């Protein structure tokens, strides 16, 4: 029998770290080379209030059903129970499989999750923890049906090889996500804007030097990694909560009080365009004090930071806000009407809107 060549797991998973949309392909490759129906990357627990659960060849409705079921506890979930049992003993990242599940299943408080796994065809598989930190756990797994059978020692060795590369990839992606906040703060620094970069939990990821001056002056308080200040109509912390809530606001503004006889400062918050998923360290919102320079270059740079618009797209957005017609904009920029339509479509897509009226509402707090 011809021996199957094992893939270059480092290449596969490092590519996923640099291009997160590729995680599904990486997980699918791992599943296929271990004879499994599904590959899974999951983040849960601890401070990871924005969990993720990527499962290949799996309907979104099943993932939603699991999330709503309350089966993430070790009292119901044999996979979590097996993991916690080893963590308690000081073994943080072994490859666990069906034999370990068999040991904990009799002690479960309910068989509901076990029955569900049989029903949808994932009673078997193996797993390991890639990361255990203050944010919680990132786990890697393969999920198998009865036709796939229990994992074999050879399949578990392949899984372990892939897991070593996946662990490095997750760590790299975490660092890259964390650096994005610093790069964003540096970009705001370059246009002399006081900015606080906030994650999806409302905690401070990075800030500019002029924002640091606000902290040193006591205008904004930093407690742990949370910022706050009394203000009207909202305290700064309330404004941040409005930005991070699932059904919250894309833009908020409030005036905070300052120390001494100095006038209050207008603080504006902007929710950044959503990503499909992240490991939890991506910038989620930006709180800025004051507005950008009113020259066109300053404003378009500002828009590029908030919404990732290209310089051309930022210029077009500003011209639309100023009431210029599309014919005039195309003439001024020396492009065809068709090219302009495509650029405007990209602006809508990046800003998460679907009309020129939506663009006007989006830009009014910035340019009004």
Domain boundary among 121, 151, 175: 175
Q: How far apart (Å, rounded) are the C-alpha atoms in residues 159 and 165?
A: 10
Write out the residue range of the structural domain in which residue 52 sits. Answer: 9-175
Asked whether the predicted pLDDT for residue 254 surpasses 90, the reply is: no
- For 7-51, write each residue's pLDDT tens digit: 999 999 999 988 888 999 999 999 999 999 999 999 876 544 447
pLDDT tens digits, 113-161: 999 999 999 999 999 999 887 667 899 999 999 999 999 999 999 999 9
Q: How far apart are CA 24 and CA 263, in angstroms?
A: 52
Q: Give the lowest-confidence range in 157-161, 232-236, 244-248, 297-301.
A: 297-301
pLDDT at position 63: 86
For 65-84, the pLDDT digits (tens) are 988 888 888 999 999 999 99
Output the pLDDT for position 316: 93
| CATH code (residue 92) | 3.30.450.40
Measured CA to CA, the distance from residue 183 to residue 208 in angstroms comes to 10
For the segment 178-182, the average pLDDT, to the nearest whole number, is: 79
Q: Do 95 and 218 have their domain in common? A: no
> What does the mean pLDDT of the chain come to?
86
Residue 106 shares a structural domain with residue 245: no
- Do 167 and 183 fall within a single domain? no
pLDDT > 70 in the chain, percent:
90
Q: What is the pLDDT of residue 1?
A: 38
Residues 113 and 44 in one domain: yes
* Distance, CA of 269 to CA of 34 (rounded, Å): 47
Provide, for the chain, the percentages of residues in helix, strand and coil under a 3-state DSSP scheme, each rounded to the nearest 5: 50, 20, 35
pLDDT band at 2 (very low <50, low <70, confident <90, very high): very low
Considering the domain architecture, whether residues 80 and 158 belong to the same structural domain is answered as: yes
For residues 81 and 195, state if they share a domain.
no
Is there a domain that residue 331 lies in? yes
* Residue 262 confidence (pLDDT) above 70: yes
Is residue 366 very low, low, confident or very high in pLDDT (cuts 50, 70, 90)?
A: low
Q: What is the mean pLDDT of residues 207-223?
A: 92
Q: CA-CA-CA-CA torsion for 273, 276, 277, 278, nearest 10 degrees?
A: -40
- CA 278, CA 135: separation in Å to the nearest integer? 12
Asked whether residue 347 is domain-assigned, the answer is yes
Angstrom CA distances, 13 to 7, 177, 277, 344, 351, stand at 11, 16, 16, 35, 30
Boundary of a domain, candidates 175, 195, 219:
175
pTM of the entire predicted model: 0.64
How confident is residue 193, by pLDDT bands cut at 50, 70 and 90? Answer: confident
Residue 4 lies in a domain: no
219 and 359 in one domain?
A: yes
Q: Comparing C-alpha atoms, which of 209, 184, 185, 215 is closest to residue 308?
A: 184
Domain end point (choices 133, 150, 175): 175
- Contact at 8 Å (CB) between 239 and 267? yes
Q: Tell me whether residue 100 is in a domain.
A: yes
């Amino acid at each position: 029998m011809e021996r199957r060549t094992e893939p270059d797991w480092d290449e596969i998973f490092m590519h996923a770290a640099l291009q997160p949309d590729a995680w599904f392909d990486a997980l699918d490759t791992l599943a296929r080379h271990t004879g499994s129906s599904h590959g899974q990357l999951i983040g849960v627990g601890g401070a990871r209030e924005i969990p993720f659960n990527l499962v290949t060849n799996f309907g979104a409705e099943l993932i939603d059903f699991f999330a709503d079921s309350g089966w993430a506890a070790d009292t119901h979930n044999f996979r979590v129970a097996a993991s916690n049992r080893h963590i308690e003993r000081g073994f943080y990242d072994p490859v666990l499989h069906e034999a370990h599940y068999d040991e904990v299943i009799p002690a479960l408080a309910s068989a509901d999750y076990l029955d569900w796994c049989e029903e949808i065809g994932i009673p078997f598989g193996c797993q390991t923890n890639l990361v255990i930190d203050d944010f919680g756990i990132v786990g890697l797994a393969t999920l198998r049906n009865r036709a796939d059978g229990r994992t074999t020692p050879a399949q578990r060795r392949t899984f372990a090889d892939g897991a070593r590369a996946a662990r490095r990839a997750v760590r790299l992606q975490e660092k890259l996500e964390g650096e994005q906040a610093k790069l964003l703060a540096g970009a705001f620094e370059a246009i002399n804007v006081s900015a606080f970069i906030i994650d999806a939990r409302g905690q401070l990821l990075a800030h500019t030097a002029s924002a640091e001056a606000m902290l040193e002056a006591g205008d904004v308080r930093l407690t742990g990694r949370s910022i706050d200040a009394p203000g009207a109509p909202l305290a700064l912390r309330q404004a941040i909560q409005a930005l991070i809530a699932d059904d919250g606001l894309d833009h908020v503004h409030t005036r905070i009080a300052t120390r001494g006889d100095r006038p209050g400062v207008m603080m504006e918050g902007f929710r950044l365009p959503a990503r499909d998923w992240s490991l939890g360290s991506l910038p989620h919102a930006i709180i800025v004090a004051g507005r950008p320079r009113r020259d066109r270059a300053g404003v378009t740079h500002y828009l590029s930071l908030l919404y990732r618009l290209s310089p051309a797209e930022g210029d077009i957005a500003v011209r639309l806000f100023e009431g210029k017609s599309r014919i005039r904009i195309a003439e001024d920029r020396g492009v065809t009407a068709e090219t302009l339509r495509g650029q405007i479509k990209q602006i809508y897509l990046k800003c998460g809107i679907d009309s020129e009226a939506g663009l006007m509402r989006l830009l009014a707090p910035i340019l009004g």
